[in-house]
């Protein structure tokens, strides 16, 4: 799909369409993120992008529909994310873990279904560049942490609490779905001229033969508000 394309709408809960009769099959398989190795079972993903380290970093200007004011929002110094808040899909979690690369230089997957993984070799949320957070769509026992990620829409708010006590607030400007064998690696991992956020999980149909979903859902957002202390009225939703 194009940069601003969106998944085909199927109501506000896309899980009904995704899971269907594959629930039993999914119970013995994993939804890997961004075409990487499933650490829990040690099963290599058949699809996905080249390793993040292979990308060519080329700064890009914001698209015409970038959130107003994003050009003026100052970046933040590096600080690890400690919590993720997405009110539009009822998600608040402080279960964040660091992700690196596997021996074959693919991005790791979170070991726990409810954990959100931060790619620590990339930007931290609020720094200049794309900060990548990845999570599972579902698990053998049901929905996982990012099971509603595909419901996000342009203009939705995402905030990331950081270890230094600040909060990086982002506004969604694109929700996309890509086949894992046609993943836009450069656009997801390539350098940007201002702070951005990438939220990634699985999407599309579940392939019982491979034990994986066919696509990835990618949410793009830009830093659009000054940082604030956690617990401020804007954060107590």
Question: What is the phi-psi region of residue 105: left when phi exceeds 0, alpha when psi lies from -120 to 50, beta otherwise?
Answer: left
Query: Do residues 115 and 145 make contact, with C-beta atoms less than 8 angstroms apart?
Result: yes
Question: Can you list the domains of the chain with their CATH numbers?
Answer: 15-50+99-235 (2.40.260.10)
- Element holding 19 (H helix, E strand): helix 15-19
Instruction: Kindly list the distances between the CA atom of residue 230 and the CA atoms of 103, 122, 234, in Å, as whole numbers in the listed order.
Output: 37, 24, 9
pTM for the model: 0.72
Query: What DSSP letter does each residue of 74-94 carry, written as one string?
Result: PP-----EEEEEEGGGTEEE-
Instruction: Give, for all 237 residues of the chain, the pLDDT tens digit.
Output: 333 333 333 333 333 334 443 433 333 333 444 443 332 222 323 323 444 443 333 333 344 444 554 456 899 999 999 999 999 999 999 999 999 988 887 788 899 999 999 999 999 999 999 999 999 999 989 999 999 999 999 999 999 999 999 999 999 999 999 998 888 988 999 999 999 999 999 999 998 888 889 999 999 999 998 665 554 443 433
């Amino acid at each position: 799909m194009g940069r601003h394309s969106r998944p085909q709408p199927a109501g506000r809960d896309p899980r009904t369409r995704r899971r269907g009769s594959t629930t039993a099959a999914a119970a013995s398989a994993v939804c890997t993120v961004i075409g990487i190795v499933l650490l829990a079972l040690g099963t290599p993903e058949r699809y996905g992008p080249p390793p993040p380290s292979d990308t060519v970093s080329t700064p890009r200007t914001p698209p015409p529909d970038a959130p107003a004011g994003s050009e003026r929002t100052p970046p933040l110094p590096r600080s690890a994310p400690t919590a993720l808040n997405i009110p539009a899909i009822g998600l608040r979690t402080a279960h964040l873990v660091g992700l690196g690369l596997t021996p074959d230089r693919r991005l790791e997957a979170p070991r726990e279904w409810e954990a959100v993984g931060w790619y620590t070799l990339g930007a931290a949320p609020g720094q200049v560049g794309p900060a990548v957070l990845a999570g599972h769509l579902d698990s053998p026992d049901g929905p996982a942490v990012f099971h509603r990620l595909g419901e996000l829409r342009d203009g939705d708010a995402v905030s990331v609490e950081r270890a230094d006590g600040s909060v990086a607030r982002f506004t969604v400007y694109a929700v996309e779905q890509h086949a894992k064998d046609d993943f836009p690696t450069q656009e997801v991992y390539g350098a940007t001229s201002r702070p951005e956020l990438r939220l990634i999980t699985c999407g599309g149909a579940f392939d019982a033969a491979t034990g994986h979903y066919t696509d990835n859902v990618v949410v793009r957002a830009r830093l659009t508000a000054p940082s604030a202390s956690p617990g401020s009225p804007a954060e107590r939703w």
